[in-house]
Structure 1
Amino acid sequence: MRSVHAKVLAFSTEHSLFTPGDTVVVAVSGGADSVALLDILISLSDLRLNLVVAHLNHSLRGAESDGDERFVADLAASRGLPFAGEKADVRALSIRERLSLEDAGRRARYEFFDRVATQYGARSVALAHHADDQAETLLLRLLRGAGVTGLSAMAPRRDGRFVRPLLTLSRSEIEGYLHGRGLRFRIDSSNADTAFLRNRIRHELIPHLVRFNPEISRRLAVTADLLAVDEEVLETVADEALKRTAREHSGEGVILDVAGLLREPRGVRYRIYRRAVALAMGTLRGLSYKHVLQIDGLVRSPKPNLHIPVPGGVGVVRAYGLVTFKAAGVAGIEWEDELIIEGPGCYPLPDGGEMVIDVVSPPADLVTLPSERACFDLDCAPFPWVVRGFRPGDRINPLGMTGTKKVKDIFIDEKVPRERRRLVPLVFSNSELVWVCGYRTGHHARVTEKTVCTVLAEVRTSTGIALK
């Protein structure tokens, strides 16, 4: 018994799973592993943990499920610990969300444990996964197809809150502990049902692999741990790469620089794409290797404008040198009405930015004005001005040219992404387009040596990113 306690304490200390005095929710199903977990945590008296026993009744096995709930409630009472129990209709959740029973049960459990942890102010939720579970999970994900992220399997700590102190123990060590302590536990009949892939791996595949290596479960668990260490390094690399390639990240999506992406190794690009989808949608559910390859094909394509949908309702749009990841339900900013500028002042723009108008002395050097500023001869461009978004057919007589040019052609020349074209303000005076903000000013309204009154216009974006 002392050996088991020492191993769990050393593992918990190595991975900083607990701090003395922590409130910890213990997930107890009533089965062998979770009963052992509860008993071991109680025995680690030096940690002085305040334990809360939590049990979710999945309502899948009728009277047997109800018996499990009563057993866990009685176990908590016998140890003088608070008990939090709840029933969930996992089968209905499975049908409603189109999930397997296993996935639906997992979602229901984690949501329940989160609620209990919040209710009791718990820092951690302890789960009873052990080394053999680790091996089974690695094989399960290998059979379904996974990279390093998936094959690294279960980490000692997940999502900051969920901890797995028994990953250092094998199933046989846990069974020996239960026998030595004389602990009773419940047997879940569904664990023998080989209709579930995990059960087939446990009862059929691993026994077959034992013929090749008697220590197969332990070796697979070590492999998963080594992959988890590599995963930490790769995630750090991906974080830095995302910072290098991201042009913008807001509540509306993520914009990445194509040239920057193409400088990154292929494996790093793949991780950046996954990050971008997760940031845009909040989940990676349904995203497979096939979709990642499609995104990479879009990035590497010589075509400047492409669009593909990916699972989760995310649209990936390539527009010249930028790739935008955007949730399908997020509406773009539109010019619903024309903005009337009566004279000097500060006027709000639809994207949250503003247009500032001042009457000033002519600047010494008009050529050096940044793209977000422009000067006009007020006699040639009198107020009121009308500011609106781009419409097909809009034309301007650009400064220095004798004829007119389509605004659409200007956008194409400047490689302005289609989604951003509608956000560029167009300024009109006397129905003549005098400024495509950030790109071209009109020849007729230019400042000359004969100009008496000069007006300076400036566009300030909400993001602080330059117009061009």
Structure 2
Amino acid sequence: MIETTLKTIKENNMFEKGDKVIVAVSGGPDSICLLHILNALKEQLQITLYAAHINHCLRGKESDEDEKYVEKFCENLNIEFRSKRVNINDLVRKKNISSETAGREARYKFFYELKSKFGAQKIAIAHNANDQAETVLMRIMRGTGMEGLIGIRSVRDNIFVRPLINCSRESIEKYCEDNNINPRIDKTNLEPIYARNKVRLQLIPYIKENFNEDIVTTLNRLASTIRVDNDYLEMIAKEKYKKYCDDNKEKVIISKEAFLEHESIITRIIRLALYNVSGNLYNFEKIHIYDVIDIQKNATGKMLTLPNKIHIQNNYGDISVYKKKEQNIKNNNIEYTLHSGLNKIKDFNLGITLELIDKTDNLVVKQENFVKYFDYNKIKGDTIIRWRKDGDRFTPLGMKGSKKLKDLFIDLKVPKDERDRIPLICFGGEIAWVVGYRVSELFKVDKNTKKILKITIESEEA
């Protein structure tokens, strides 16, 4: 067992010298075996161990005894122990989620808390080869793709490590017996009340008896084979993602050219975009990926709402993936009068400087994206900043007549979700500058200009 575990650790580069490792310990055979083995290897691996236990409060006195058992076990091994009580049933009611999901959320939240507290690099979890086989089998029955067939990764996000992933449940139980370890037994794991329990207690034994007595090893081999091929496709998809996607974390724009790639690549590009915006891929299914592909084939402006409050929009063939921000309705009516000098406008998160200068022969008027010059004598009324309003019209530089601001945004291919957040600099009732895009013909500097209003806009930290 120790040799198999050490081999798994080395092959997957699970630890580096000096790593601090949080070990998830429920008190059952798997986690107790993991902690015991890592304790035996800690000098060789040069790692420091911390044990983390969550009391789910689901089995009353038995849950409390699990906690005491793990604490005593850690005390005997001289391993620092931390526990937390979480009433999972309360969490289920509050969030309207399953007890399995609630338990997982509580555990991982606690693991991250301890990781931060101790400055740990890794979190070790006791998934084994049987867990892997059960996971793969369950996903096959759900109609999973290649990513699902990989099952449980031995290392995830370079944080979560599973040193026992190649060890069978039988070998773990024998290790505990040989080392006189008497782990706690959760009796609910012996009852076919959950889908995983049914697979473990009924389906796998049936397959062993009637089809393949080595089904656990076979399913693990399948997962390993699929992982090799999938990792290659993922590598290609990440390269294409960098090529075709504009990613600012809050929003990802997938270029229309990406949708010319092979289906296996574009589907992975979309998954990467969803992950980067949402932070995870929970609740996203295959149908959602293909819904995005279908949206791209439709006319511009077509929108789609996905789980986790993710919005998809077709913008002239490019696909925007973003979380819808709550727009304060009052913002539409907010406007500020600007004065000479620096104006800090909190609602717009901008610093705006107005400077009046004389036009001279040697004056260089250098138009930059956020520095603009206007003929001061053509300005009537106050200088204000505001958001757009219904019916706004604008006379772009070089045009004689005005056009609807909405039409200008369409011409410039400005995404719908951005239009309400573009500041407008106005002189009196006229729009002088659509910030970041165009200035007005009405206030341009020409040969007759004597005084110039220079406006500089800079982003302020929120």
Shorter-chain TM range is: 0.7 to 0.9
* Alignment root-mean-square deviation, CA: 3.4
After the TM superposition, which of the residue ranges 346-355 and 176-185 deviates more from structure 2?
Answer: 346-355
The change in CA–CA distance for 1:275 and 1:332 in structure 2 (over 3 A counts) is: farther
Unmatched 5+ stretches in structure 1: 464-468
Q: Work out the CA distance in 2 between the residues paired with 1:145 and 1:406.
A: 50
C-alpha distance after superposition, 1:389-443 (max 9, x if no partner):
3222222445555443322222223322223333344443353444444555444
Which residue number in structure 2 is paired with residue 9 of structure 1?
Answer: 6
Match of 2:31 in 1: 34
2:214 matched residue in structure 1? 215
Asked if 1:225 is matched to 2:224, the reply is: yes
* Rounded Cα–Cα distance in structure 2 between residues aligned with 1:24 and 1:339: 54
Find the counterpart in structure 2 of residue 324 from structure 1: 320
Structure 2 counterpart of 1:244 = 243
Match of 1:199 among 197, 200, 218: 197
Pairwise CA distance, 1:155? 1.7
Kindly provide the CA deviation profile for residues 315-373 of structure 1, in whole angstroms up to 9, marking residues without a partner as x. Answer: 22333355433334543794653343445x5555654455555534479999x956656
Q: How many pairs does the alignment contain?
A: 455
Q: Where does 1:65-464 land on structure 2 (aligned, <5 Å)?
A: 65-210=63-208, 211-250=210-249, 253-301=250-298, 303-331=299-327, 334=331, 337-343=334-340, 345-347=341-343, 351-355=348-352, 357=354, 359=357, 360-361=359-360, 375-381=373-379, 384-437=382-435, 440-457=438-455
- The more displaced of 57-66 and 125-134 is 57-66
One-letter amino acid matched to 1:223: L
CA distance in 2, matches of 1:363, 1:158: 62
Structure-2 separation of matches of 1:425 and 1:121: 43
Gaps of 5+ in 2: none
Instruction: Return the alpha-carbon distance in structure 1 between the equivalents of residues 142 and 161 of structure 2.
Output: 25
SS at match of 2:281: coil
SS in 2 for 1:83: strand
1:167 counterpart SS class: coil
User: Are the structure 2 counterparts of residues 417 and 371 from structure 1 closer, same or farther at C-alpha, using a change threshold of 3 Å?
Assistant: same
Is the 8 Å Cα contact of residues 302 and 313 (structure 2) preserved in structure 1? yes
C-alpha separation between the residues in 2 aligned to 1:101 and 1:432?
A: 59
Separation in 1 of the partners of 2:84 and 2:385?
58
Q: Which runs of 4+ in 1 moved over 6 A?
A: 362-366
Output one character per residue of 1:96-150: Cα deviation in whole Å (capped at 9) or x when no partner: 2222222222222223333344444443332221111111111122223432333
Question: Deviations 1:186-243 (Å, cap 9, x if unpaired)?
Answer: 3321112112111111122222333333322112112223333444444443433333
8 A Cα contact 2:425 2:431, kept in partner: yes
Contact 2:385 2:424 in 1 (8 A): yes
Instruction: State, as a whole percentage, how many aligned pairs show the same letter.
Output: 32
- Judged with a 3 Å threshold, the aligned counterparts in structure 2 of structure 1 residues 126 and 457 are, in CA distance, closer, same or farther, namely closer
The equivalences for 1:54-69 within 5 A come to 54-69=52-67
Instruction: Give, as a single letter, the amino acid of the residue that structure 2 aligns with 1:428.
Output: C
Matched with 2:21 is 24
TM superposition score normalised by structure 2: 0.84
